[in-house]
Amino acid sequence: MLQNTVWILTLIGMGFITAVYLFVFLQSTQTSDTHVVKAKLYGIRPWWFALLVALIVVALATTLSRMPYADTHGRANSAPDLVVEVTAHQWEWVLSRNEVPVGKDVAFRVNSEDVNHDFALYDEQNRLVLQTQAMPGYTNIIRHTFESPGTYRIRCLEYCGLEHHAMLSNLIVTAHDSQGGIQ
Ligand code: CUA
């Protein structure tokens, strides 16, 4: 019953689309007003092009300087303050340290021991702070300076098997460093 209804609806839809195509095809043989339409559109075209170029230039100028990649800020070759080794495997995150202080340039060196995972860090408002692939045989480095202390949630964003959803951990961002000094 349902099958038949779907069939009939599909045929009606196909018929409608065919009719539209036929109509357009038959109309396209009439060339009488082509030049009018052409002249109109060609008149608009340079302005449309200029507008798009202007929009792209404005968008790039206002956003490029805020690209969230270390090398766009000249940091790629500078040494970080702290390094956190992040190793992923089914189905767990192993971090060389679970605490980092605010205000320090932290480099996360992320890799995997088995399949592809995705290292993603969320702040306490559940906003994505950073993420990068955890790949076997390759180390992805992502740099970040934390501005607010708190318990940041680590999630896996790449489907990696049965317990993918349970691949959770925490990173504590402290207001002070481990020696007790204010950063
Ligand atoms: Cu690891 Cu999904």
Angle at 39 between CA 38 and CA 41, to 5 degrees: 65
- Phi, psi for 76 (deg, rounded to 5): -55, -35
Atom of ligand 1 nearest to the CA of 90: 1
- Phi, psi for 108 (deg, rounded to 5): -95, 120
Distance of CA 134 from the midpoint of ligand 1 (Å): 9
Ligand 1 pocket, 156 CB below 6 A?
yes
Q: What band does 182 get if pLDDT is binned at 50, 70 and 90?
A: very low
Give per-residue pLDDT as tens, 55-87: 999 999 998 887 766 555 566 677 889 999 999
Q: What band does 178 get if pLDDT is binned at 50, 70 and 90?
A: low
Give per-residue pLDDT as tens, 14-36: 999 999 999 998 887 766 677 88
Name the token pair of 12. Answer: 């009606």
Strand order in the sheet with 105-112: 92-95, 82-89, 105-112, 140-145
Distance between start and end Cα atoms, the chain: 71
Give per-residue pLDDT as tens, 152-176: 999 999 999 999 999 999 999 999 7
Ligand 1 pocket, 160 CB below 6 A?
yes
Q: Can you give the three-state secondary structure of the chain, one letter per residue? A: CHHHHHHHHHHHHHHHHHHHHHHHHHHCCCCCCHHHHHHHHHHHHHHHHHHHHHHHHHHHHHHHHHCCCHHHHCCCCCCCCEEEEEEEECCEEEECCCEEECCCEEEEEEEECCCCEEEEEECCCCCEEEEEEEEECECEEEEEECCCCEEEEEEECCCCCCCHHHCCEEEEEECECCCCCEC
Distance of CA 161 from the midpoint of ligand 1 (Å): 7
Whether the pLDDT of residue 181 is over 50: the answer is: no
Ligand 1 pocket, 86 CB below 6 A?
no
Ligand 1 pocket, 102 CB below 6 A?
no
Atom of ligand 1 nearest to the CA of 157: 2
Name the token pair of 111. Answer: 């890799």
Ligand 1 atom 1: residue of nearest CA: 117
Distance of CA 157 from the midpoint of ligand 1 (Å): 6
Whether the pLDDT of residue 139 is over 80: the answer is: yes
Ligand 1 pocket, 159 CB below 6 A?
yes
